[in-house]
A and B are shown apart, each in its own frame.
Chain A
Amino acid sequence: MQTLWFILIGFMLTMYVVLDGFDLGAGAIHLWAAKTNEERRLILQAIGPVWDGNEVWLIAAAGSMFFSFPVLYASSFSGFYLPLIIVLWLLMLRGIAIELRSHIQNPVWVSFWDGVFFIGSALLTIFYGAALGNVVRGVPLDKNGHFFEALWTDFNPYSSNPGILDWYTVLIGLLALAILTAHGANYIAVKTEGVVNARSRRIARLAWLVTIVLTVLGTIATFSVQPAISASFGSRPWEIIFPLIALAGLIGMGYYNFRQRDLEAFFSSCTFIVGMLASAAISLYPDVLPAVNPANSLTIQNASASQYAQTVGLVWWIIAIILASIYFIVTYRLFWGKVHVAGTEGY
């Protein structure tokens, strides 16, 4: 049951990164992919009906983690206090930027929110990447399961008192920015035509090249920073399937980009993200939050809720996720296809 919940929480977080990832990526590229007001409205229209639902995956994942692994939830949320609150502020600014931009047709107002949308989206991807980097690297948990990380200490991931930002986590943050930029550009390419589509493809190609470089660097750094990962792949060789999935996605991103097959390129970047996150999660298992001192690590056993709570939760969770999947399929089908300037803007 604890392993199942490990997988389910991983699934929800992956859904969040794949889905909200493309609208974050859209925010990161929109200043370059779209130059005029009409073009930028096109991008907002492409994500307008879905971005809020995508973000719900984060809330749902946090809530599910709270009841299935309350110790993990309490420990990581208080240990990552400062970056989490900063993420909340960025989510706020970005959310209102998307929604409020078009309420007043004034060029300065519109331009201001375009800038906020870009900064919020780009910084969020970097923070998410850095957060993952922190989890992989390990945090300074004490034997009571508490820790508190400063935003930065000495920028050294091998330190016994690491900060949120060190050269390793920043590297993973930049990798996340590159991946989600490519992912967002692929989505916008799918949803648009003409000049915005052409620019998105170019951005996707550039971001793909950067992703390759950073993935290589990030992978080398990860094996160096967290030795448990080599051990994990050594003891469970079948785990290699997940990095291979990621590799297939990475190849597909480039291949379909050159072939100008936007939808396939988008699914390739989805595959790449799933493969990368699954690789990270499976190589940590059964740890849910590794500690700098491995004896203090939080695992699926010592962080877990009671058997009954996890069982009851599973029943309603399945019902809820089936319903959510129906809403998502319906919404994405309803809003399927290219967006046009003349379409509904929403009110």
Chain B
Amino acid sequence: MDASTILSRLQFAFTISFHYLFPQLTMGLALLIVILKTLYLLRKDELYNRAGHFWGRIFAITFIMGVVTGIPMEFQFGTNWSRFSVYAGDIIAQTLAMEGAFAFFLESAFLGIFLFGEQAFGQKMHWFSAFMVWLGTWASGAFIIASNAWMQHPVGYTMAANGRLHLSNYWAVLFNPWILAQYMHTMSGAVITGSFAMAGLGAYYLLAKQHIDYGRLFVTLGVIAGFIASGIQLYPSGDLEGLQVTANQPVKLAAMEGLFQTERGAGIVILGQPDSTTGRLDNPIIVPNVLSFLTYRRWTAVVKGLDAFPPNQRPDSIELLYYSYHIMVGLGTFFIAIMGLAILLLLWQRRLFRWRWMQWILLLATPFPFIANTAGWFTTELGRQPWVAYGLLRTAQGSTTISAGNILFTLIGFAGMYVLLGLLFVILVVFEAIRGPVSEEKTPQEETMAQGITD
């Protein structure tokens, strides 16, 4: 793999990882904001509406970060992966272009109405705009997953005489069987991020004894949504993804599980450090037979190890892939435990609102869903290597003809730019969080508006 390809991979990995910090939060928050606005319409309690405004402000900051870091993603297919773009543009560009044409127009139009139009257009329109923003962000996710699913599991194509792929079945691409599990897994991952953020900030307010009503609302909604989403993350979505990888990408499975040798009744690795040069796992803690059961539903099934595949078919960063997967699964397990415990304390005479140690746990847990989601994407993308289109085109054959020096230049530029964006985001969100939901003074217009919803 030449230097241009390696740098293009680094640049794509860096820019997409940074970008995805924001959409996972907006996709999660969009759903929670719709829930808050719905509660407001149903219960007519101003608390819900102000909570919706407050999270709308945080949503807006996150959304703009997602927009500006998202534009480079669409462009990099052309700038850094031009040979892949020529090879598969017929197919992969369909779903990418549909994202822009269907989802982005919808999101931007209704976000404008959501942020600027509440007083002018009334509460029902405001609820509707929140709903459409949620729909838009989730549709956006669906088109991106469809694009990625095609790279993981190419369908609906024929090989043309000029050596390029041609689209042969649009519906096959749009309803690629790979999409369902991956979409569920990604979306519930986003809801986990959003609900941990909400619960975490609510816990902070309870700990700081500020905005207590909001703190309780945020913790309650965050914990309920977070518990449901963490559960879906394991079953059915995580389980389905596991079965899918087992059936279609057995070498990815072997690498992420750290299974170097083919085994009958393979165990699952809880801890251990893989060494791909010797093909060994150091300091392993293994639960016997579980991997066979999870993948084939039989305790004694044979699971293929890395030794079953020639080296040029294996992912090229086995250690990083292994750690990414284990970080994702480990954190996912903690999320279920934390949210399960929090739910119990909520149901048990609202002890969650009094027991500070649990509030501390919720507060400190806030950043971890970002890590888990990122690790999840590392798992699926590193595991796709050495292919850019699985089984069809190798990554080294898909990159650009641009010199390494020019790519390093832009990679350094992106790094600098994203440090700035990251700092600004943190400053602004902390600023909004400390200012809190109640600092907006109630204007006379808002008073009339609050009455307006009853008619």
Contact = CB atoms under 8 A, between A and B. Distances in A.
Given A81-B406, A99-B60, A53 B97 contact: no
Interface string A98-120: 01100110000000000000000
B78 interface: yes
B142 interface: no
Interface in A304-339: 305-306, 308-309, 312-313, 316-317, 320-321, 323-324, 327-328, 330-331, 334-335
A59 B116 CA distance: 23
B105 interface: yes
A60 B102 CA distance: 9
A81 B109 contact: no
Contacts of A327: 105-106, 109-110
Interface string A122-145: 000000000000000000000001
A210 interface: no
A264 to B, nearest CB: 26
10 contacts: A53-B112, A63-B93, A66-B85, A70-B89, A74-B89, A77-B77, A100-B428, A305-B167, A316-B101, A330-B109
B67 interface: yes
A147 to B, nearest CB: 9
B340 interface: no
Most-contacted residue by chain B among A59, A75, A99, A313 (CB, 10 A): A59
Contact of A64 (B64, B97, B113, B121): B97
B408 to A, nearest CB: 12
Interface stretch (A26-34, A87-95, A152-160, A179-187): A87-95
Contacts of B432: 103
A323 B60 CA distance: 23
A62 interface: yes
Interface stretch (B68-76, B204-212, B321-329): B68-76
B176 to A, nearest CB: 15
A310 to B, nearest CB: 9
A286 interface: no
Contacts of A67: 89-90, 93-94, 96-97
Nearest to B112: A49
Interface residues of A, number: 62
Nearest to B54: A347
B252 interface: no
Contacts of B314: none
B93 A103 contact: no
Interface in B36-65: 53, 56-57, 60-61, 64-65
Contacts of B440: 347
Contact of A347 (B57, B100, B112): B57
B228 to A, nearest CB: 28
B167 A309 contact: yes
B119 to A, nearest CB: 5
Contacts of B261: none
B64 A48 contact: no
B68 A95 contact: yes
A66 B121 contact: no
A84 B57 contact: no
A269 B53 CA distance: 38
Interface in B413-441: 413, 417, 421, 424, 428, 431-432, 440
Given A60-B97, A63-B93, A52 B79 contact: no
Contact of B78 (A78, A330, A334): A78
Given A100-B64, A308-B167, A331 B105 contact: no
B401 interface: yes
A306 B101 contact: no
A66 B115 contact: no
9 closest residue pairs by CB, A with B: A70-B89, A77-B78, A63-B97, A67-B93, A49-B112, A320-B101, A327-B109, A66-B93, A74-B82
A81 B100 contact: no
A321 B105 CA distance: 9
Contacts of A320: 98, 101-102, 105
Contacts of B333: none
Interface residues of B, number: 71
Interface string B375-407: 000000000000000000000000011110010
B104 A59 contact: yes
B313 interface: no
B4 to A, nearest CB: 11
A227 interface: no
B170 interface: yes
Nearest to B57: A347
B75 A62 contact: yes
Interface in B232-289: none
Contacts of B112: 48-50, 52-53, 331, 335
B105 A56 contact: yes
A344 B85 contact: no
Interface in B113-127: 113, 115-121
A89 B15 CA distance: 12
B166 interface: yes
A66 B401 contact: no
A331 B125 CA distance: 12
Given A53-B108, A77-B79, A91-B71, A64 B90 contact: no
B97 A308 contact: no
Most-contacted residue by chain A among B57, B90, B115, B117 (CB, 10 A): B90
A76 interface: yes
A73 B105 contact: no
A64 B98 CA distance: 8
Nearest to B78: A77
Most-contacted residue by chain B among A48, A89, A103 (CB, 10 A): A103
Contact of A85 (B68, B79, B94): B79
Contacts of B57: 347
Contact of B413 (A56, A59, A89, A308): A89
B78 A63 contact: no
